[in-house]
Amino acid sequence: MADFVTVAKADDIPPGQVRVYELGDRRIALCNVGGTLYAIDDVCTHDGGPLDQGELAGDQIECPRHGARFDVRTGRALTLPAVRPLGTYPVQVKGNEVMVSVNSA
C-alpha cells in the first residue's frame, strides 16, 4: 500500500507552473498541467540537471541544460539527449492538500 505524505497546498502550484519539494532524500517536482498535478523526479536523466529550472509546456517539461523533453504524466523521455524515463509518483489531492507517495509498489 502507498504511503502518501502531504507536501504542498494545491493553490501554491498554479496551472502551467512547477514547484519543487524535498521528500526524504528526493527532490520532487510537482507540475500543474491544466489543473491536474503530476509528481516527477526533479533530475534530468541525461545529465542530472534540475528540471524545475526548465519550461513546462502543456504536459511536457524541457531540461534547461540540453533541451531534453519529458512527458510529466508518464516520465517518458521524448527527445534526445535523454533516453531514460523520469521517476513518477502517485499524487492525491484532498481539499487543498497535495499528497505524494514515493513508496508505492
pLDDT tens figures, 2-36: 699 999 999 999 999 999 999 888 999 999 999 99
pLDDT tens figures, 84-94: 999 999 999 99
**How many degrees, rounded to 5, is the angle at CA 15 between CA 12 and CA 20?**
50
Residue 105 counted as domain residue: no
- Residue 20, classed as helix, strand or coil, is strand
Residue 31 counted as domain residue: yes
**How many degrees, rounded to 5, is the angle at CA 16 between CA 61 and CA 90?**
70
**Residue spans of alpha helices (H) in the chain:** none
CATH number at residue 11: 2.102.10.10
Considering the entire predicted model, what is its pTM? 0.93
Q: For position 105, what pLDDT does the model report?
A: 43
Please give the residue range of the domain that contains residue 71.
Answer: 5-100
